[in-house]
Chain A
Amino acid sequence: MHDFLNGLVVLLNYVIIPATTYGSQLALGALGVTLVYGILRFSNFAHGDTMAFGTMVTILFTWLFQSWGISLGPLPTALLAMPIGIVVTALFLLGTDRLVYRFYRKQKAAPVILVIVSMGVMFIMNGLVRFIIGTGEQNFDDGTRVIINPFAFKDATGLDQGLALRTTQVITVVTAVVVVAALFWFLNRTRSGKSMRAFSDNEDLALLSGINPERVVTITWILVAILTTVAGVLYGLDKSFKPFTYFQLLLPIFASAVVGGLGNPLGAIGGGFLVAYSEVAVTYAFKLVLKYWLPAGLQPSGLVQLMGTDYKYAVSFAILIIVLLFKPTGLFKGKSV
Chain B
Amino acid sequence: MKKLLLASAAMSLCASGAMAKEVKIGIVLGFTGPLESTAPPMADAAKMAIAEVNKSGAFFNGDKIVGVKGDSTCIDSTAAVATAERLVTADHISGIMGAMCSGATGSILQNVARPNGVVMISPSATSPALSTAPDDGLFFRTAPSDARQGQVIAKVLLDDGIKTAALTYTNNDYGKGLADSFKKAYEAAGGKVTISVPHEDGKADYSAEVGSLAAAGGDILVDAGYADQGGKGIVQAALDTGAFNKFFFPDGMYGPTLPKAFGKALDKSIGDVPGTDSPGAKDFFDMAKKAGFDGTSSFAAESYDAAALIMLAMQEAKSTDSNVYKTKVMDVANAPGVKIYPGQLGKALKLIKEGKKIDYVGASAVELVGPGEAEGNYRIYGFKNGKRYTIKYM
Chain B residues, CB < 8 A from A286: 215
| Complex interface: stretch among A60-68, A179-187, A236-244 | A236-244
B292 to chain A, nearest CB (A): 16
Chain A residues, CB < 8 A from B240: 164, 166
Is B24 in contact with chain A by the CB < 8 A criterion? Answer: no
B228 with A14: CB separation less than 8 A: no
A303 with B195: CB separation less than 8 A: yes
Given A14-B214, A150-B241, A303-B216, answer yes or no on A279-B233 (Cβ-Cβ < 8 Å): no
Number of interface residues of B (CB under 8 A): 37
- Measured in the bound complex, the distance between the Cα atoms of B236 and A149 in whole Å is 14
Point out the residue from B37, B207, B217 that lies within 8 Å of A135, measured CB to CB: B37
B218 to chain A, nearest CB (A): 13
A285 with B212: CB separation less than 8 A: yes
Chain B residues, CB < 8 A from A26: 204
Is A111 in contact with chain B by the CB < 8 A criterion? Answer: no
- Measured in the bound complex, the distance between the Cα atoms of B208 and A26 in whole Å is 16
A308 with B197: CB separation less than 8 A: yes
Chain B residues, CB < 8 A from A287: 215-216
Is B85 in contact with chain A by the CB < 8 A criterion? Answer: no
B261 with A139: CB separation less than 8 A: yes
Residue among B34, B211, B212, B217 facing the most chain A CB atoms (10 A cut-off): B211
Point out the residue from A139, A249, A303 that lies within 8 Å of B204, measured CB to CB: A249
Question: B208-226 vs A: 1/0 string, CB under 8 Å?
Answer: 1111101111000000000
A236 to chain B, nearest CB (A): 11
Is A18 in contact with chain B by the CB < 8 A criterion? Answer: yes
Number of interface residues of A (CB under 8 A): 44
Is B36 in contact with chain A by the CB < 8 A criterion? Answer: yes
Question: A292-315 vs B: 1/0 string, CB under 8 Å?
Answer: 000000000001010011101100
Overall SS of chain A's interface: helix
Chain B residues, CB < 8 A from A280: 205, 207-208, 211
Chain B residues, CB < 8 A from A283: 208, 212
Is A190 in contact with chain B by the CB < 8 A criterion? Answer: no
Chain A residues, CB < 8 A from B204: 22, 25-26, 235, 239, 245, 248-249, 252
- Measured in the bound complex, the distance between the Cα atoms of B215 and A286 in whole Å is 7
Chain B residues, CB < 8 A from A276: 205
B198 with A284: CB separation less than 8 A: no
Point out the residue from A135, A235, A249, A309 that lies within 8 Å of B198, measured CB to CB: A309
B341 to chain A, nearest CB (A): 31
Closest to A22 in B: B205
Is A334 in contact with chain B by the CB < 8 A criterion? Answer: no
Question: A272-294 vs B: 1/0 string, CB under 8 Å?
Answer: 00001001100111111100000
Is A192 in contact with chain B by the CB < 8 A criterion? Answer: no
Chain A residues, CB < 8 A from B171: 310
A288 with B214: CB separation less than 8 A: yes
A256 to chain B, nearest CB (A): 11
- Measured in the bound complex, the distance between the Cα atoms of B167 and A309 in whole Å is 13
Chain B residues, CB < 8 A from A164: 240-242
Is A137 in contact with chain B by the CB < 8 A criterion? Answer: yes
Chain B residues, CB < 8 A from A245: 202-204
Closest to A313 in B: B200
Given A139-B261, A288-B215, answer yes or no on A151-B242 (Cβ-Cβ < 8 Å): yes
A14 with B210: CB separation less than 8 A: yes
Question: B23-58 vs A: 1/0 string, CB under 8 Å?
Answer: 000000000111011000000000000000000000
Is A320 in contact with chain B by the CB < 8 A criterion? Answer: no
A137 with B212: CB separation less than 8 A: no
Is A19 in contact with chain B by the CB < 8 A criterion? Answer: yes
B261 with A285: CB separation less than 8 A: no
Chain A residues, CB < 8 A from B214: 14, 288
Is B68 in contact with chain A by the CB < 8 A criterion? Answer: no
Chain A residues, CB < 8 A from B242: 13, 149-151, 162, 164
Residue among B33, B34, B241 facing the most chain A CB atoms (10 A cut-off): B241
Question: B130-170 vs A: 1/0 string, CB under 8 Å?
Answer: 00000000000000000000000000000000000000000
- Measured in the bound complex, the distance between the Cα atoms of B37 and A245 in whole Å is 13
A137 with B207: CB separation less than 8 A: no
- Measured in the bound complex, the distance between the Cα atoms of B205 and A240 in whole Å is 11
Is A171 in contact with chain B by the CB < 8 A criterion? Answer: no
A18 with B215: CB separation less than 8 A: no
Given A14-B211, A136-B228, A137-B228, answer yes or no on A279-B205 (Cβ-Cβ < 8 Å): yes
Is B246 in contact with chain A by the CB < 8 A criterion? Answer: no
Is A15 in contact with chain B by the CB < 8 A criterion? Answer: yes
B237 with A303: CB separation less than 8 A: no
17 A-B pairs within 8 Å (CB atoms) are namely: A13-B242, A14-B215, A18-B237, A22-B204, A137-B228, A137-B232, A137-B261, A150-B242, A166-B240, A239-B204, A245-B203, A245-B204, A285-B211, A289-B215, A303-B212, A303-B216, A312-B208
Residues of chain A touching chain B, judged by Cβ–Cβ distance below 8 Å, are 13-15, 18-19, 22, 25-26, 135-137, 139, 149-151, 162, 164, 166, 235, 239-240, 242, 244-245, 248-249, 252, 276, 279-280, 283-289, 303, 305, 308-310, 312-313
Residues of chain B touching chain A, judged by Cβ–Cβ distance below 8 Å, are 32-34, 36-37, 171, 195, 197-200, 202-205, 207-212, 214-217, 228, 232-233, 236-237, 240-243, 257, 260-261
> Which 7 interchain pairs have the tightest Cβ spacing?
A150-B242, A18-B207, A285-B215, A14-B211, A162-B242, A285-B212, A288-B215
A18-B205, A312-B208 are known contacts; what are 18 more A-B pairs with Cβ within 8 Å?
Answer: A135-B36, A136-B37, A136-B228, A149-B242, A150-B241, A151-B242, A164-B241, A239-B236, A240-B261, A244-B202, A245-B204, A248-B202, A283-B212, A284-B211, A284-B212, A303-B215, A310-B197, A313-B200
